[in-house]
Amino acid sequence: MNVVKVGLLGLGTVGGGTVNVLTKNSSDISRRTGYQVVVSKASARDLSRLRICDTDDIQLTTNPEDVINDPEIQIVVELMGGEEPAKSLILAALAQGKHVVTANKALIANHGNELFAVAAKHNVTLAYEAAIAGGIPIVKAMREGLTANGIDWLAGIINGTGNFILTEMRDKGSAFADVLKEAQELGYAEADPEYDVEGIDAAHKLCILASLAFGMPLNLERVYTEGISKVTPLDVTYAEELGYRIKHLGIARRRNEGIEMRVHPTLIPEKRLIANVDGVMNAVVVKGNAVGSTLYYGAGAGAEATASAVIADIVDICRQLGNTSSNAVPALGFLDTELKDLPILSIEDVETAFYLRVPVEDKPGVMAAITSVLANNGISIEAVLQKESEHHGENTQVILLTNCVVEKSMVSALKEIELLDSTTGAATRIRVESLQ
Ligand code: HSE
């Protein structure tokens, strides 16, 4: 059987998982590709580090250029993360006519437009299934399985660490910092956990999903991004009382006026399947105009789950090797020449329902004052809760669910509400999506 030599840049959690899965499933992978896929060389920063995989048959080096310059290596797998030196190494590998597989979402989100163009110029593949939602084959689903559809919207839990934190806050009332530490120990969190907690990692993934959905160049700087660090256990509890769960969602939606791209905490009805995706699991709902709603669920991080996506890309490349047909799947699912610079809406123009929590004095007329501000701004109310303080002298909380309203109307209503004499502190607002 012909051999395909693969070089790894990075031999940490995902690199080790990739070696292990290629070993344990080598026979099936050969039967599926017609090739024996061999990891012949790998670079790592510290060669003395303990590995989760056997490295006896792999030539190890601290110099990643040894991997990309090896003439026998046909596929380079970049698992180092970060922008540099990953970007330069990938460019060098592509320029040498090597196919590249990467799990690097920050790199694709920030530099994908340039990298895809370079790959196309050299007639090689730059594959990135593992960059979004770990082991879930969402790129495959969007580029191929759903290709008949116009995509209306998609919404995803695309950061496992953030979902783990929100789940533990709800189930165990755990403190934010303790849960984050646990996620770091399990290898799920990013090197800089702010990427998880402040939504940056989710924004990287959402930006790629939006381009796959609507056929536009990657536009990371236009993704509205809000993290979960301001979500309190109080809001989690009140949301539950209203029949909702708070999830950190990445949402991309096509509207007549343009494209919405946003990442923020969101109340979703608890009966939706995605509201019940807990722990580090990821899920993406994609609404196609032919198929309707589809849901993709699975592990969003972890050694072998992410390796599953990396190896799927390697298998796709093996299937193209020696095949001169030019009908390969385009990087963003639309022909490169057909990508369009669609208008992207600012968050002020996005329309959603809202959950509001306003700390107020416990005295007559407070509720009427708040509801009349909302009415004056054209905002109607869906549900109201009033929570009396259990302790004398502490605030009462007014909790409201509104109907859909344009963000800028809500911002100006909240300014007025916060100026009311009866309001005793900053109001909390979380967007609500019905996901129907
Ligand atoms: N830090 C990421 C997460 C890893 O928690 O989802 C997978 O991209």
pLDDT tens by residue, 311-360: 999 999 999 886 655 557 888 999 899 999 999 999 999 999 999 999 99
Strand pairing partners for 347? Answer: none
Section 53-61 average pLDDT:
95
Q: Is 205 a catalytic residue?
A: yes
How many angstroms separate the alpha carbon of residue 145 from the centre of ligand 1? 24
- Is the pLDDT confidence value at 393 over 60? no
Q: Is 189 near ligand 1, meaning CB less than 6 Å away?
A: yes
Cis peptide before 330 (omega within 30 of 0): no
Atom of ligand 1 nearest to the CA of 202: 6
Q: How confident is the model at residue 386 (pLDDT cuts 50, 70, 90)?
A: confident
Of 291, 286, 299, the C-alpha closest to 435 is 286
Q: What percent of the chain is modeled with pLDDT above 70? A: 97
Determine if ligand 1 sits within 6 Å of the CB of residue 157.
Answer: no
Q: Where in the chain is the domain with CATH 3.30.70.260?
A: 350-432
Q: What residue spans in the chain does CATH classification 3.40.50.720 cover? A: 3-135+303-338
Query: Do residues 278 and 259 make contact, with C-beta atoms less than 8 angstroms apart?
Result: no
Q: What local confidence, expressed as pLDDT, does residue 330 receive? A: 87
pLDDT of residue 183: 81
Residue 210, burial from CB neighbour count under 10 angstroms (0-12, 13-18, 19+): buried
Is the distance from CB of 323 to CB of 125 less than 8 angstroms?
A: no
- Angle (CA) 99 102 103, round 5°: 165
List the one residue out of 380, 370, 423 whose CA is nearest residue 405.
380
Range(s) within the chain of domains with CATH label 3.30.360.10: 138-299
Question: What ranges in 142-199 are assigned the alpha helix state H?
Answer: 160-172, 176-185, 194-197
270 φ, ψ (degrees, to nearest 5):
-65, -20
CA dist., res. 147 & res. 386, Å (int)? 47
CATH fold group of domain 138-299: Dihydrodipicolinate Reductase; domain 2 (3.30.360)
Mean pLDDT, residues 421-430: 95
Is the pLDDT at 1 greater than 90, yes or no? no
Residue among 108, 159, 247, 297 to mutate when testing ligand 1 (max atoms within 8 A of CB): 159
Ligand 1 pocket, 196 CB below 6 A?
Answer: yes
Q: Cα(377)–Cα(342) distance, rounded to whole angstroms?
A: 30
Indicate whether 176 pLDDT > 80: no
Residue 188 CB less than 6 A away from ligand 1: yes
Q: In this model, does residue 143 exceed pLDDT 60? A: yes
Confidence of residue 271 (pLDDT cuts 50, 70, 90): very high
DSSP label of 423: B
* Segment 191-212, tens digit of pLDDT: 888 999 999 999 999 999 999 9
* Tens-place pLDDT, residues 279-297: 999 999 999 999 999 999 9
The catalytic residue among 105, 205, 247, 287 is: 205
Burial of 93 from C-beta contacts in 10 A (0-12 / 13-18 / 19+) = buried
Query: How close are the terminal C-alpha atoms of the chain, in Å?
Result: 50
Residue written as token pair 């660090």: 229
Overall size of the chain counted in residues? 436
Q: Which amino acid is at 250?
A: G
Q: Rounded to whole angstroms, what are the CA distances from 101 to 291, 383, 415?
A: 30, 49, 48
Number of CB atoms found within 10 A of residue 415's CB: 12
DSSP reduced 3-state for 94: helix
Query: Ligand 1 pocket, 299 CB below 6 A?
Result: no
Domain at 3-135+303-338, CATH homologous superfamily:
NAD(P)-binding Rossmann-like Domain (3.40.50.720)
**What's the whole-number mean pLDDT along residues 405-411?**
97
Contacts of 173 by beta carbon, 8 Å cutoff, 6+ apart: 233
Closest CA to 245 of 256, 231, 259: 231
Q: In this structure, which CATH number among 3.30.70.360, 3.10.20.440, 3.20.20.450, 3.30.70.260 belongs to the domain 350-432?
A: 3.30.70.260
Spatial CB neighbours of 247, under 8 Å, sequence gap ≥ 6: 157, 163, 166, 265, 266, 268, 274, 275, 277
